Structure 1
Amino acid sequence: MSDNHLAFTLHNGPLVPQLEQLLRSRITESTWAPSERIPSEAALAVELGVGRSSIREAVRLLAREGLLDVRHGVGTFVAATPAVEPAVEFTALLRRSRILEVFEVRRALEVEAARLAAERAHIGDLVELERRLALRHSRFKGEIDHFVDADLDFHTEVVRLSGNAVLLSLFESVRPLLRETLVEMTARVDTVPDTSHAHDQLLDALRNADPDAAVTATRANIDTIVSRLRALDT
């Protein structure tokens, strides 16, 4: 086993970014040569002492950057001409721009939906929203994809409570892209911003039929993440 393998030690924080960095170093330092087939997910999971799902996510991120070539039914290979570091940085910049665009669309949809929900929803309509919020909070420190799904379920219910079928249709159409973006972003950052308080404030605003407070809470939730993304580009 190479020194590169022996150097890997898990640290506190999200696992996927650590695995991504390790696999990236094996490519950029030529531990794995261009066009070489890398070990299977199962083999890497055993070697590194992690779950296969974490390996799979790290491989997916590197494949999106053009460093790995996933051939279903065959295996995963190092790209014939792996991207050099400046290209990797440019790809990351493009990804952040894409994420920002998704959040701009999300902000426009959800701010209006929250305002309408505060005006139209009744106390009896909020039981499902309360359930979904409790589930979101319980999954905050759990598996990334489970947390993101619970979070989006909560926001989908807010949009449904707006009573606007067009808004709901638009949100549901963008939800798959939003989910992909959130899972990827959450896997990459060292710490996930905790916007639980803003979610609680949104629920309180709907209980109080306060449109202004609902808009403020929605903006606080989304703008916290947007601000962090914009800071990465400075």
Structure 2
Amino acid sequence: MPEPSGLRHGPVVPQLENLLRELLREQRWKAGERLPSEVRLAEELGVGRSSVREAVRLLARDGLLDVRHGSGTFVVAPPPVTEETPDVRQLLRRARLLEAYEVRRALEVEAARLAAQRIRPEDVERLRSRLRDRQDRAGGDPAAFVDADLEFHHAIMELSGNAVLVGLFTVVRPVLREALIEMVTHEARLPDVSCAHADVLEALARGDAEAAVAATVDNLEGTMAFIKAEMADR
């Protein structure tokens, strides 16, 4: 079991969920095996029982754990996948990603509008550097690419000058990061939204709030449409 120091400052539940998800991926507990109790996990990880309970609930929702009241929490064996049977975990992963994108759209559209009104010339070059870093990492390590992508969007959040928007994005960022890494890793036919990112930047550089909002919507809804289409095909 990892040391509690693996959890950083910030929202605990998303970090704890990601940690447990990684342990399950590494088969720390085998399929059918019972997890340690909430009390034991909380003590070993240095978190509250309520945080453990919520993280377990999210993993159970994704079909990774089976919470049996009175018996404990057990690791779910992945279902066999045939041509006639959809990959249930893939469907759950896409459904959760779609939820994350719906939240992301609400935050980023308003951030783009405000940033276009408040951006300064020196901000444009910093943002351009973030975008170059994102584009340079495309097609490489999924985690590095996702981190660079989120840095670009986080920079726009900060340029909005709205501390509440920045705070909300910071809260959802760990969940979004995990979902995006899985998407980039497993979805071979993802649409290339590099041009939409460039359009966002150029609109911000011009101080054109309407164009910045439109480019942000194009960027996010292109991926959302892809996810919905993939789910409909199953």
Output the TM-score relative to the length of structure 1: 0.64
Change (3 A) 1:168 1:96: same
Q: Name 2:27's counterpart in structure 1.
A: none
Percent identical residues? 46
Please report how far the alpha carbon of residue 221 of structure 1 lies from its aligned counterpart in structure 2 after TM superposition: 0.7
Residue by residue, what CA displacement relative to the aligned partner does 1:15-65 show, whole Å, maximum 9, x if unpaired?
A: xxxxxxxxxxxxxxxxxxx88xxxxxxxxxxxxxxxxxxxxxxxxxxxx86
1:83 maps to which of 67, 79, 85? 79
Question: Residue type of the partner of 1:205?
Answer: A
Q: Which residue of 1 aligns with 2:96?
A: 98
CA distance in 2, matches of 1:82, 1:178: 23
Shift of 1:120: 1.0
State the one-letter code of the partner of 2:128: E
How many Å separate the matches in 1 of 2:185 and 2:197? 21
Counterpart of 2:201 in structure 1 is: 203
Larger radius of gyration: 1
Match of residue 153, structure 1, among 145, 151, 154: 151
CA distance in 2, matches of 1:81, 1:106: 31
Partner residue of 1:217 out of 215, 218, 222: 215
Aligned-pair distance for 1:185? 0.7
Shift of 1:141: 1.7
Q: How big is the alpha-carbon RMSD for the aligned residues of Structure 1 and Structure 2? A: 2.6
Say which SS state the counterpart of residue 233 (structure 1) adopts.
Answer: helix
Partner of 1:135: 133
Q: Residues of 2 paired with 1:144 and 1:91: CA distance?
A: 19
Structure 2 residue identity aligned to 1:213: A
How many residues in Structure 1 have an aligned counterpart in Structure 2? 164
The aligned counterpart of 1:70 is: none
Residue of structure 2 equivalent to 1:182: 180
- For residues 121 and 94 of structure 1, do their structure 2 counterparts lie closer, same or farther at Cα, with a shift above 3 Å needed? same
Q: TM-score, normalised by structure 2?
A: 0.64
Question: Which deviates more, 127-136 or 154-163?
Answer: 127-136
Identify the match of residue 108 of structure 2 among 95, 107, 110: 110
The match for 2:124 is 126
**Structure 1: distance between partners of 2:203 and 2:76:** 55
What displacement does 1:206 show?
A: 0.8
> 1:166 matched to which residue of 2?
164
Aligned amino acid, residue 83 of structure 1: P
| 65 and 200 in structure 1: CA distance in 2 versus 1, 3 angstrom threshold | same
For structure 2, the 5+ residue unaligned runs are 1-30, 33-61, 66-74
